[in-house]
Structures are given as C-alpha cells and as structure tokens.
Chain A
C-alpha cells in the first residue's frame, strides 16, 4: 500500500517538475550560460568514491554547514535559496525572484513551487521562515549554534503565502541576499529542525531538499549518498536542473594525503581531496584532473598586530612586506596552480585590484628599512635594537595543511635578513584559545577566510560595528576608518570600486596585511573519467552535474 502511494505521488510530482524544468531550460538559454554538459554527453548511472581527510565533528546542520569537510555533503544533500558561482555572481535557485525596499530593511522572496524535502515535507514559505529563524538564533541552550555569518540585524520573517516570504531587518542589510547563497544557509526540513540536538547530530535523521539523500553513514568512516530520482530543482546556473547522473557518491575518510592520492592513482577511488601540492605536477602528467578552485575571500597572509613591538613601526612592517619571496613559496611548497597574491583579497573577487608593486620581493629594500628603523645586524646574523633581538613569532594556521611548510620557508627567507623567526604550531583547540587577532603574544595572525562581498571587508578590519579590529588599530588610523565609512555608504559599484582600490593600497602600503599567496584551500585530484563537476563560490565541488565518461 505504502509503495503504491509513493509511486502515485512520484508521478504527480514528475508532472510538476517537467514544467519547471522547461522553465529552467529557457532561463539557461536566455541568460546564455553554457552548460557544462554541452561538451560531453552525460551518462546516467555510476558510483564514485571521494576520499576526504576528515568528516568533521557534529552533524547538527547549523554547527557543521561551514565545516570545510562536511560542506561537501551538505552541498549535495541540501539546496539554497540562491546560487553563488566561482566569480561571486548571484543567481536564482529555490528563490526565483526577490525584491527589497529602498533602505534594504525588508526583502520579499518568491519561492519555486513543488520543491519537497526528502522526508516529504514541502519546501514552502513556512519552511523557509523556520530556517531563517534557526539560522539567526540557533537553540543555544541545546547546543545548536546560530549561523555566525547570518546578519545580526535580522528581525523576523513572515510567510505571506505558500510561496512568498517577507523578511524584516532592524537596520539596512544589503548583505542579506548574497548570504542566502553562502554555505551556512542550507535549507533543512522543518521536521528535522524541530528535532532535539542529539537527533540532529545523526546525519541520517536530517532531511534536505538536495539532489542526493544520505543512504548510510558511520562516524569517522564514511557517508554514502544516493541520488534522489524526483529531484528537479537544480540551480539554473549550472545548466542542469533534473536528477543527478551519478547513482551514489561515497565520502570515505582516509586521513593520510598520500594514501588518498595513491588510491586514486591505482583506480581504487575517483577523487582525492586535499592532496599534497608536491604531488600535483606528476599527477597532471599522469593524466589526472587536478582542480585548484579558489574561493572568494582573503588571500592567505598575516594580519599584523600594530600594537605589538616592533610591529608598531611601519618600517618594520614594510620590511616584512618586502622581505618575503612569494614566488619561492609557490615554487617550493606549491605549484603554478597557486597564484601570487596581488592584493590582500583574492584576485577573482569582484573589486580586487592589482597591487603587485607593493608586494615585490626586494631584500635590499627590506634591509635598508630595517637599518633605518635602528635594527642592526649582530655577530650571530640576527638584528637587534636596544639589546632586543628582532623576533617574529608566527602561529601556524591549523586549518591549512601547508601552513607549516610555508612558515618554515618564510623563516628561512627572513632569517637571511636578520630576523629570528619562531614557529608555534598548536592543535585546533589550543589555537582557538591562544591565537586571536591583536592578541598580546600574537604579532601576526594567519588569515584564511572567505567572505561574500568585498564591501564587508573594511568593516571586518576595523573595530566599528562589532568589527574584528584585525590590526589592533582601534581608532589610530583615521584614513582606514574614513574609507570604511565611505565604502559602507557607497550606493553603486562605480562609486565603491575606487574606494576599495584605495583601501587595498593603503592596507598593503602600511604593512597591515602581509599576503603570502592566493589561497587554494581545497585541492581535488580526480580520475580522468569523471567529468562535469562544478565549483561554487566557496570552492566546493558539486557532483550534481558530474558523470562518468567512457
């Protein structure tokens, strides 16, 4: 009996879906996006194994959505209201259209109809309201955290009708729309949301509306996803809206990078995540697909604590800026897939400008600056001033596997200039306790962070409006505060772009931010027969559109 009823409902759903698929196809045609599948004809079926170094901690959706590991699974199991591509372009997904009032305090979202969660619940306005509420507030006493990046100015959301949601903010919140396409904003069935934390922590008890559902999982071992045959609401931007092609995707935990790669090489698996950069060159030569998508965000680099002597001296900071041979980092630790930093934000971010001149390796200039600042080389090759040695303590970023190698190389480079570099490496827990922006014992904080919109950057760097005050400047630099205010008040991109350019120039020239390289936080080594995957704005691979070619 139950079997038959699901069959019936399936076919009814199918009808609806065909209609929306047609609409989607016309949308793709008109926007002129070239679908990934145009090159190859996708083949139905097939199973892939994706080797990953960790499967994160808890599976409570709110707490795990931004995890660099679990994000892969959420990306297949859940959908979002909007889609953000690798260039930061926002396009419709489950929200077909949206409007906002003039001062950006009220937004109206119009939802695609006929979308369901895998537990059968409809993805309607009520479900979206439940999601918005839990993103904003979480259930703190139960251990369900709010989504950190969700606008704190959120007031409430209302379901106007089944397909229309109205969202109210206490203050103007331009960032709301891009937030909906961000990795924290995954839509979960209201039934799952209502579950207590311990049930939410069981991945198999959480239902999303994505192209795949969780078939089985074992903590610290694997997650197997199986295709949802009635899925028909993919993002138009990827050029495919129907059910996925691959039958199953298995995310398997293999903690050794060399084992992950070797397994793909020997054909035992299809994708290896976070391969060691050293191996990429030979892998490419062997014919494997190597993807190093960049996310939208800050480059990998240091935010300098300007209160920490001697980095309160602009000349020392500038010497640091000129004393790092960034090309050598790429040549030694990385491969040409990594790009030289041209600013403190990744060059693919809309609004990033080329400041390479400020980042050139110039040891002579660095030595001269240090001499001028009064740091004299001693007999042991280390510079000193007033009996104190020129020391730089760096804390390796535990979130980036290559961080230690880069630190060691930079220590060698700065050592030649007379710097004494001390490397501290902590585990994630200790790091979180001890290393903070502008911390008393932290001269430089290593940054790897994605963001949604370059306009928010200035706010993070300074201390106003809950900003993070990265350089511990407080209000000591009038210029950066002035730039922050005018960027926030800018009404258009044309007005904002030159201001953003000034900000980048100022921050780099003052040596507030010392870029290392543009960051590739996610490295994928893929079997040559697997094709058609897409990468979004946070560099997650989606195999929704992928297939196995013969």
Chain B
C-alpha cells in the first residue's frame, strides 16, 4: 500500500469519526428539544399518586434538572470513553440492552437482504430471458409495485394469510423459521425494488453492448448470455446500492419488527421513542452511523477488486459517500 493511500484512509477514518460524533450530538439536541423524559412520565402516571412537589424532588435527586449543556457533556464524555450510559426507561445499561436485541435484528436484516437479492435477480433474470410480449412487461412493473407497497401492509397480509388462514407458523413465536422467513420477505420486498431497478437498467445497458450482440450472433442462448456474460458486469452497481441503502434495513426493521412482534433493534427504538429514552436512542443512531460508514468503507475497498475497469485514483476519492457522483444514486442509475 502506498503512503498516499494510507493518508487517504486516515482522512476517511477521521471523517467517519466526526460523522458518528455529530450524529450522536444531533440526536441529543433533537430529543432534548421537547420537555419530558421517561422518569417523569412514569412518576406522573396517575396510579402513582405523586404530588408535583414529590416529582420535583425525585427529578432533582437524579440530576435531571441540570442544564442541557451539562447533560450533553456528561453523555458525550461517557460516549467517548465507551460508556453508553444507562437507559432512563429500564435502568439497565444501554450496552446490555443493545447486545440483547442485536442478534435478532442481524438475522432479520441478513435474511431480508438475501430475500431482496433473490427477488431482484429472479425478476432481472425474467426480464432478460422471457419473451418480450409476455410476462416481461409485467415483470418490469414489479419493482415499482414493490416500491409502492407499504411494508406493514405486506407484513399484515402475510401474517393474515400464512399465520392465521394457513397456520403455517405461530404468530406468537416470531423467531421460528417460518415467521422469520415471512418477516424477511416483508423487509426484503421494498428493498428488492431498488436492487432490481439498478440491475435491470444495467442488464439492458450491457445487452446493447457490442460483445453481447457478438455473442448472440454466434447463436448463444438468452439464458447462457445472461449467466455467462451479462450478469457479472451488471451486478457490480448492486454492491453500491446495497452499501448506500443497507442502513435503511435498520430503519425498516422498526416497522417489520413491530408487525411481527420480533424483539430487535427496531422494537427497542419503538419502545425508547415512546418514552423519550435519550441514551438508548443516541446509542442506536450512532450504531446506525457506524454501520453506514463501515459498509461504505468496505464497498469502497471491494469495488476495485470486483471491477478491474475501475482504476484506483490514489489521493482522490474515487467513490464518495457524501455529496456526489450521480452514478451512485440508485434512482438515477435507472436511466444511465
């Protein structure tokens, strides 16, 4: 590795750290705008019968009446030393809470990604192989249909049909194989739309290239053309799409987990949001930022390996995650 590359890598890493810290502060500022916190709201539950004076005493005893800046300083200095703090809602360490739910979300997200890739490649395959008049037009409409369907509707439909009508899985056991599969389908369908669009556009592009017509003139079948020649170059931009949108899996897990009753990061966000549990929200947002930054870093490193046509331009961003090149924009890639 050259010196210039290392400088570049260090710079990128520094930027990443700054972005993560800013995301942390951003969450703090946004959530602190509104008065109220989980502790006061529990105290105010009328069943408790606390008077306002008692509530004030308890709040003061826990330092919640300190100025916002002081609280930000405490929380930020904790974060910098690796201490994520204690959940205001459940009084348990935030790191424990997150560690508890992360496996479930990882399973959901990775199987959702697998479903999305499978669907996207299946649809893309169909558009190249099926005869023009039949099926192809319909298949080409699939991505926009997938993109237009709210994923909670997909989830409710799958639960209704397979959970209750066909009784394929027990709704109260969301971690069982079938329930996980249907949750993965729910989260994967909207995601597959973006991948499929890019894939189809690129396949169409590649199919018009000279080498494809040469291959066709030599009498190669459409199927073989697809698998042997078109697939590899066309799937390269998919890596970029996944890198840019993988964070959305975390966002969408919020809905999917709620619909299927899974216990994961999404449902933790849901619970923390409803009680304004600041430390947990801050930790999850920074986690999302870390994932985003890491995945994009990996994609940057992978890209030149996958596509020999991309020459690494050392010292200059060949692929920016920030403001940037239109080719990275998944929606633009439809019409290159």
Contacts and interface: CB of A to CB of B under 8 A. Distances in A.
Q: Do chains A and B touch in the complex (CB under 8 A)?
A: yes
Interface stretch (A19-27, A139-147, A364-372): A139-147
Interface in B8-38: 34-38
Given A220-B268, A252-B172, A141 B90 contact: no
B51 A143 contact: no
Interface in B75-89: 86, 89
Interface in B46-63: 46-51, 54, 57-58, 61-62
A60 B90 CA distance: 8
A279 interface: no
A143 B263 contact: no
Given A198-B92, A259-B159, A269 B276 contact: no
A468 B91 CA distance: 29
Given A57-B90, A143-B91, A428-B274, A66 B47 contact: yes
A3 interface: no
* Listed residue (B45, B49, B89, B100) with the most chain A CB atoms within 10 angstroms of its CB: B49
Contact of B275 (A57, A138, A218): A57
B91 A269 contact: no
Given A428-B274, A432-B41, A198 B57 contact: no
A200 B61 CA distance: 18
Contact of A254 (B44, B45, B58, B172): B172
A462 to B, nearest CB: 14
B103 to A, nearest CB: 11
Nearest to A262: B164
A415 B170 CA distance: 45
A255 B261 contact: yes
Contacts of A40: none
A193 interface: no
A393 interface: no
B39 A254 contact: no
A430 B159 CA distance: 32
B49 A219 contact: no
Contacts of B39: 143
B48 A256 contact: no
B47 A220 contact: no
Interface in A132-165: 138, 140-141, 143, 145-146, 148-149
Given A49-B172, A200-B91, A219-B90, A432 B271 contact: no
B93 interface: yes
B40 A432 contact: yes
B89 A57 contact: yes
Contacts of A449: 46-47
A266 B173 CA distance: 13
Contact of B49 (A57, A148, A253, A256): A148
A503 interface: no
Given A141-B62, A148-B49, A220 B271 contact: yes
Interface in A195-215: 197-198, 200-202
A66 B45 contact: yes
Interface in B157-197: 159, 164, 167, 170-172
B62 A255 contact: no
B50 A148 contact: yes
B312 interface: no
Contacts of B86: 198
Interface in A19-61: 49, 51, 57-60
A63 B58 contact: no
B261 A253 contact: yes
A268 interface: yes
Interface string A63-80: 100101000000000000
B256 interface: no
A140 B171 contact: no
A399 interface: yes
A450 interface: yes
B171 A57 contact: no
Nearest to A448: B46
Contacts of B91: 58-60, 63, 143, 197-198, 200-201
Contacts of A432: 36, 40-41, 44-45
A221 B261 CA distance: 8
B97 interface: yes
B36 A433 contact: yes
Contacts, number: 125
A428 B36 CA distance: 10
B48 A66 contact: yes
Contacts of A433: 35-36, 40-41, 44
A220 B53 CA distance: 32
A263 B100 contact: no
B58 A220 contact: no
Given A143-B39, A429-B276, A268 B171 contact: yes
Contact of B171 (A202, A218, A263, A466): A263
Interface string A425-462: 00111101100000000000001111000000000000
B171 A259 contact: yes
B90 A201 contact: yes
A57 B167 CA distance: 32
B258 interface: yes
Nearest to A60: B91
Given A66-B45, A141-B61, A262 B90 contact: no
Nearest to A437: B46
B43 interface: yes
Interface string A510-537: 0000000000000000000000000000
A308 B170 CA distance: 52
A269 B172 contact: yes
A319 to B, nearest CB: 27
A184 to B, nearest CB: 9
Contacts of B258: 255
Contacts of B164: 262, 266
Contact of B38 (A57, A201, A268, A448): A57
Nearest to A200: B91
Contact of A259 (B48, B101, B261): B261
B50 A256 contact: no
Contacts of A198: 86, 91-93
Given A198-B86, A220-B267, A263-B170, A254 B261 contact: yes
Contacts of B159: 259
B42 interface: yes
Interface of B: 34-51, 54, 57-58, 61-62, 86, 89-93, 97, 100-101, 159, 164, 167, 170-172, 258, 261, 263, 267-268, 271, 274-276
Given A68-B47, A198-B86, A399-B45, 7 more contacts: A58-B92, A63-B42, A148-B43, A149-B49, A201-B92, A219-B97, A428-B41
21 contacts: A49-B172, A57-B38, A66-B48, A138-B58, A140-B57, A143-B91, A145-B42, A145-B48, A198-B93, A219-B263, A220-B267, A221-B263, A253-B261, A256-B261, A263-B170, A266-B167, A268-B171, A429-B36, A429-B41, A432-B40, A433-B35
Closest 7 CB pairs of A and B: A432-B44, A148-B48, A140-B61, A201-B91, A221-B263, A148-B49, A432-B41
